[in-house]
Amino acid sequence: MTSPYPTARIFVSHSSKDNSFGIPFVQNLRRVLGDESAVWYDSQGGLQGGDTWWRKIVEELTARPIFIVVLSPDALSSPWVNAEIDLAWTQKHSKSGKLILPILYRPCEVREDLRTLETIISFLPPRNYEAAFNELLEVLGLPTVAKLKDPITNSEDPTRTIAQRTTSQIETAFAEQDWLTVIRQVDYLLTEVPTAITATLYHKQGCALLEQGEVQLAQVAFDNALALVSDREERLSQLRESTVLLISVGQWRKALHNAGEALRLAPGDSYWLTVQQVAQKEVVQPLPSIDMSTKNSGDTLNAERTIHTLPTNRPSQSASALSAPIIKKPIFVERDLLPVYWLLGLFLLILLIIGGIEVFIITSRAQVSNNNAQATATTEEIHATATAIHAAATADTLAKNPDLYHPSGGKLVLYDPLSQVSNWDNRSDSSFGGSCQFTRGSYHVSESQSPHTFHCIAPDSTFSNFAFEVQMKITKGDCGGITFRESQVGMYIYVVCQDGNYYLYRSTPSNIEGLRGNDSSAIHKGLDPSNIIAIVANGSTLDLYVNNQKVDSVHDNTSSDGTIGLIAANFSNPTEVVYSYAKVWVW
């Protein structure tokens, strides 16, 4: 049958995972055009693969003046779809030209080049499918139609509506890092429409569970995702992503299992051989750990570090010294040198893997045995790979987290969501009633004894001129805050309280003095509201910030550099403070 619109020859690019929308959409187009051959649509979405099939795609795409791409997260992560978009874009500027029409089927981050086009037609709810389809027809110069069969909200299948709506909510929540919503909505879909669950959804739930610290449940979700994937390349991709997350939380045995499966699919692959090698060593001989709560009465340095108690009265605005009890804080043991240094290859692999999730710039020591030439060669190969991949991940995180505090902009050197065990204290001390714990996807610091302050540090975090920002939520009690420039000569303590007050103290081995104190409207008062607190230390100038507003400034040169930390301050009530997203910029 000859089409009444012979110029409307259309190529539809899409992911095969969107066939529930794409197939009826194309059928509607073909009915309007009156010709089955008028619209070319590969229902398998490039799954055949190979050079022959790609030549067929190039032939059809080139021959058809209209290019429609169905946009979704799956489509924009598909190498086939992106290759087709690239080809269409080059032909758009050729002599014959090409009309490119993106249609938005599911929420996603649209490619920059597609955003420059005048028209992107949205089929997203609450828009009516018929209205969106008729807009497309108008752009194509075709007559509009009525009473279309809607593949998105088919009244004959109410479960499809639930599946489409819930899947969209999951993808939005995942993009916004709303991990609890991702977990709940996937569980809901499993209960209501189990046939709608895909490998992608299981994988997103696994990532969310891991972010929440639920390692065992996350592994179950990853395994379920793999069970639904038969394509070799997609299985390898799923394995790699889950392995990256598993290693980032120290799940080496599970990572070793994944490496074994991956090597069965890709024998001799250098990435997986390296993961297998490192994981085997880690499973057999774990890295040495240090008990942060251990006290050593014979430690000379420890004896010099006085126990302090925070004064309960507020420092005056004039910054005069307070005559007050000394601040109570736990005793910390200076870390001994590790008897065995980390292998350079292991350090760099961890750096690579953490760089793929969240950039956290770490300093460490490494030593490689000089009498093992093969290990050295492997280490150098890992180093080269790690450097390139980590640099790309770092660049992305740097771009998303500019320094808003220093006029010339500092360099981001620490970015930690504090959602899982990292380089911060993770311990408790019953003698002081305090604890530092990673739980429920965040960092909890608590103090049950009054009037005490419990102090948790990031050991390898010596800074001089810097901005330190963290998100803080007081769930019970009095105050939270940060410590900075902690060294042998002393430290500073910036306290922010749920009653709307803030304080800055200077602590030395023999005394504590209040440098500043006041109330501020910038503080979100009460329990549970979040506050972003920050200190900007530049020489002797110490600027205090709450929720990106400068609330005070102090000049003091007692301590010029040192480590950073987080606190729970119990003036009169048992206190717990939840911290997330710690960031440090230096200059």
Does the residue 42 lie in any domain? yes
Distance between CA atoms of 112 and 569, rounded to whole angstroms? 47
User: Residue 525 belongs to a domain with what CATH number?
Assistant: 2.60.120.560
Shared domain for 86 and 129, answered yes or no, is yes
pLDDT given at position 160: 66
Taken in order 271, 277, 282, 288, the sign of the CA dihedral is: negative
Does the residue 501 lie in any domain? yes
Four-CA torsion 262, 265, 269, 271, nearest 10 degrees: -20
Boundary of a domain, candidates 123, 140, 157:
140
Long-range contacts from 227-230, C-beta under 8 angstroms, 24+ separation: 228/197, 228/198, 228/199, 228/202, 229/199
- SS3 state of residue 543: strand
Distance between CA atoms of 438 and 422, rounded to whole angstroms? 9
| Peptide bond between residue 451 and the one before it cis (omega within 30 degrees of 0) | yes
Distance between CA atoms of 141 and 4, rounded to whole angstroms? 12
Shared domain for 426 and 516, answered yes or no, is yes
What range defines the domain where residue 212 resides? 175-284
pLDDT given at position 149: 63
Distance between CA atoms of 388 and 386, rounded to whole angstroms? 6
Find out whether 474 and 580 touch, Cβ atoms under 8 Å: no
Shared domain for 317 and 246, answered yes or no, is no
Distance between CA atoms of 84 and 526, rounded to whole angstroms? 54
Q: Which of 6, 135, 128 is nearest to 63 (CA)?
A: 6
Length of the chain equals 587
Boundary of a domain, candidates 85, 120, 140:
140
Shared domain for 203 and 92, answered yes or no, is no
CA angle in degrees (0–180, nearest 5) for 22-73-213: 140
CA distances, 392 to each of 77, 274, 358, 404 (Å) = 18, 20, 12, 22
Report the chain's terminal Cα–Cα distance, integer Å: 71
Shared domain for 262 and 321, answered yes or no, is no
Strands 99-104 and 66-71: parallel
Does the residue 362 lie in any domain? no
Boundary of a domain, candidates 284, 317, 341:
284
Does the residue 456 lie in any domain? yes
Does the residue 475 lie in any domain? yes
pTM exceeding the 0.85 threshold for the entire prediction? no
Distance between CA atoms of 474 and 497, rounded to whole angstroms? 8
Ramachandran sector of residue 261 (left: φ over 0; alpha: ψ -120 to 50; beta: rest) = alpha
Does the residue 162 lie in any domain? no
Shared domain for 542 and 467, answered yes or no, is yes
Ramachandran sector of residue 432 (left: φ over 0; alpha: ψ -120 to 50; beta: rest) = alpha
pLDDT given at position 297: 29
DSSP tally for the chain: helices H, then strands E: 16, 20
pLDDT given at position 195: 73
Does the residue 340 lie in any domain? no
Shared domain for 466 and 578, answered yes or no, is yes
Cβ-based burial of 299 (10 A; exposed 0-12, middle 13-18, buried ≥19): middle
Crossing angle for the helix pair 158-175 and 179-192, to the nearest 10 degrees:
160
Cβ-based burial of 89 (10 A; exposed 0-12, middle 13-18, buried ≥19): middle
CB neighbour list of residue 218: distance below 8 Å, 6 or more residues apart: 206, 207, 209, 210, 245
Shared domain for 271 and 313, answered yes or no, is no
- The rounded average pLDDT for each run of 10 residues, N- to C-terminus, in the chain (587 residues) is 64 90 90 89 58 81 94 89 91 87 89 88 84 92 79 56 82 86 88 80 87 80 78 80 75 82 87 85 48 30 36 44 32 30 43 44 36 43 43 58 81 85 84 87 90 86 92 95 93 95 91 89 91 95 93 94 94 93 91
Strands 66-71 and 10-13: parallel
Shared domain for 550 and 492, answered yes or no, is yes
Helix (H) or strand (E) holding 454: strand 452-463
pLDDT given at position 278: 84
Distance between CA atoms of 232 and 290, rounded to whole angstroms? 42
pLDDT given at position 528: 87
Shared domain for 581 and 457, answered yes or no, is yes
Distance between CA atoms of 514 and 530, rounded to whole angstroms? 25
Domain tally, the chain: 3
Shared domain for 269 and 311, answered yes or no, is no
User: Residue 268 belongs to a domain with what CATH number?
Assistant: 1.25.40.10
Distance between CA atoms of 144 and 133, rounded to whole angstroms? 8
Shared domain for 24 and 128, answered yes or no, is yes
pLDDT given at position 10: 95
Does the residue 155 lie in any domain? no
| Peptide bond between residue 24 and the one before it cis (omega within 30 degrees of 0) | no
User: Residue 87 belongs to a domain with what CATH number?
Assistant: 3.40.50.10140
pLDDT given at position 177: 86
